[in-house]
Amino acid sequence: MTITDSARNLLAGAIKGENTGGFNAFNKIDLGESGGSTDPSLNTLDSSITNNTPIVLDSITKSAHNQIEFYKAINGTTYSGYVIREVGIFDSAGTTMLLRIPIDPIGPLKTGKTYDIRIIIEVE
């Protein structure tokens, strides 16, 4: 099965929040300290450092028609001492997780330092 280029572009736009028709944009991120679960039925991270309250992303950009970049600058003072091992992208209600990504550990986070998190996905 092949998805057409125009359908890929529409799907990427819907994820970003364009032309949603009532669909909640995926514009929040959550940060977790573990990253072992791959269960697609879960809608939370294994060990959220935000108490399962995803935070609004700083930016969402769409490039090359079907690529989307999610970006958030994390204030180390807010999450001092934590080690980020997974991130999740959530809808604007914070209740539906689009994806979860285990990452190489970042941290322990330090007071006074900013950490940039960029997630790039490609809708194929």
The 3-state secondary structure of the chain reads CCCCHHHHHHHHHHHHCCCCCCCCCCCEEEEECCCCCCCCCCCCCCCECCCCCCEECCEEEEECCCEEEEEEEEECCCCCCCCEEEEEEECCCCCCEEEEEEEEEECCCCCCCEEEEEEEEECC
* Model pLDDT, residue 56: 95
**Residue 37 domain boundaries:** 5-122
Number of independent structural domains in the chain: 1
- What is the reported pTM? 0.82
- 4-62 pLDDT, tens per residue? 465 566 667 776 666 655 556 788 999 999 876 667 777 888 899 999 999 999 998 87
* Model pLDDT, residue 48: 93
